[in-house]
């Protein structure tokens, strides 16, 4: 299993490069992996990826693609060329879409002699609780749907899924040890939930089988982001 430091992904949900630079400098060598999402990528584009690469950091480019198979596959090909370590699609786009993306990512990496990014699928957003889930009129429960989408993603050739730590154990049982489970919805004991619903502590997420923990505001909005990250890393180490 990878070193704990490489399993904490800090979500850079900020709007400007000035904020990125400040956080990355403050966090220093404590953090080696960052998540770049819609706010930052749509706002500043490649500048954030170039900067993080210069700093020697890995990047999860979290754009959650969702469209017809050809469109997502071509989007995934373009993202593969950007050099992120991990990219993602929405599992609810279906098996054909996920398979097309997986094939195109592998082909593009081969063609341009690039490392193949991990391709993972978002299952059910961690902000969703049972009440909101009911409004979508899905017949399955949240855990059943998450496991079903994870099995579809595995069958389509993806490397893993994004899910709540609350479903990590079920996914691990259904999809095996090699299938990556990336969990947002991580909150140290006593931290504000913000808009998250299906949450767990860093220790509980790891014990349930999460491979990577995605943590944003508990670190980035902390008075001392480095101290907050170090406390989470310590909790992760003790949970192993
Ligand atoms: O189901 C999902 C999928 C993605 N996310 C993303 O993770 C981070 C979590 O940030 P916090 O500040 O720790 O809540 C954020 O960038 C989301 O876009 C998620 O939370 N849930």
In the chain, the percentage of residues whose pLDDT exceeds 70 is 100
Neighbours of 103 (CB within 10 A): 16
Where do the structural domains in the chain lie, given as residue ranges?
Answer: 4-231
Contact between 83 and 114 under an 8 Å Cβ cutoff? The reply is yes
DSSP 134: H
Stretch (H or E) spanning 234: helix 225-239
Token representation of residue 55 = 């700093």
Predicted TM-score (pTM) of the model is 0.98
Q: Is 66 in the pocket of ligand 1 (CB under 6 A)?
A: no
**CB 197 less than 6 A from any atom of ligand 1:** no
| Backbone φ/ψ region at 170: left (φ over 0), alpha (ψ -120 to 50), beta | alpha
H-run or E-run covering 177: none
Using the CB atoms, write b or e for 124-145: b if 16+ within 10 Å: bbbbbeeeebeeeeeeeebbeb
Residue owning the nearest CA to atom 19 of ligand 1: 184
Distance CA 153, CA 28 (A): 34
Give me the catalytic one of 35, 57, 64, 111.
Answer: 64
> Ligand 1, from 142, 214, 217, 222: best to mutate by most atoms within 8 Å of Cβ?
214
Going by pLDDT thresholds of 50, 70 and 90, the confidence category of residue 1 is: low
The 10s digit of each residue's pLDDT in 163-215 is 999 999 999 999 999 999 999 999 999 999 999 999 999 999 999 999 999 99
What's the 238 CA to ligand 1 centre distance in angstroms? 24
For 72-100, the pLDDT digits (tens) are 999 999 999 999 999 999 999 999 999 99
> Which residue owns the Cα nearest ligand 1 atom 1?
125
* Token pair listed for 2: 């990878």
Chain-centroid distance of CA 58 in Å reads 12
Instruction: Tell me if ipTM is over 0.85.
Output: yes
Residues comprising the chain, all counted: 240
- Residue 103 CB contacts under 8 Å (≥ 6 apart), including other chains: 73, 157
| pLDDT one-digit tens code per residue, 34-53 | 999 999 999 999 999 999 99
pLDDT of res. 45: 98
Catalytic annotation present for 64: yes
Residue 123 has pLDDT above 80, yes or no: yes
**pLDDT for res 79:** 98
How much distance in Å is there from the Cα of 21 to the middle of ligand 1? 20
Topology classification of domain 4-231: TIM Barrel (3.20.20)
What distance in Å separates the CA atoms of residue 59 and residue 41, rounded to the nearest whole number? 12
Q: How confident is the model at residue 2 (pLDDT cuts 50, 70, 90)?
A: confident
The reported pLDDT for the residue numbered 139 is: 96
13 lines ligand 1 (CB under 6 A): yes
């Amino acid at each position: 299993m990878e070193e704990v430091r490489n399993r904490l992904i800090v979500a850079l949900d900020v709007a400007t490069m000035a904020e990125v630079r400040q956080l990355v400098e403050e966090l220093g060598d404590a953090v080696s992996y960052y998540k770049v999402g819609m706010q930052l990528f749509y706002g500043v584009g490649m500048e954030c990826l170039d900067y993080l690469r210069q700093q020697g950091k890995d990047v999860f480019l979290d754009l959650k693609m969702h469209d017809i198979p050809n469109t997502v596959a071509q989007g995934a090909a373009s993202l593969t060329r950007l050099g992120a370590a991990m990219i993602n699609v929405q599992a609810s786009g279906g098996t054909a879409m996920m398979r097309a993306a997986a094939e195109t990512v592998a082909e593009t990496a081969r063609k341009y002699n690039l490392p193949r990014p991990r391709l993972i699928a978002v299952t059910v957003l961690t902000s969703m609780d049972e009440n909101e889930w009911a409004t979508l009129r899905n017949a399955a429960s949240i855990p059943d749907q998450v496991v079903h989408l994870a099995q579809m993603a595995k069958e389509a050739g993806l490397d893993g899924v994004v899910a709540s730590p609350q479903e990590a154990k079920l996914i691990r049982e259904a999809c095996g040890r090699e299938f990556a489970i990336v969990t947002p919805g991580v909150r140290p004991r006593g931290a504000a939930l913000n808009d998250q619903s299906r949450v767990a502590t860093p220790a509980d997420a790891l014990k349930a089988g999460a491979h990577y923990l995605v943590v944003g505001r508990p670190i980035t909005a902390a008075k001392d982001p480095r101290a907050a990250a170090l406390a989470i890393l310590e909790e992760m180490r003790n949970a192993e």
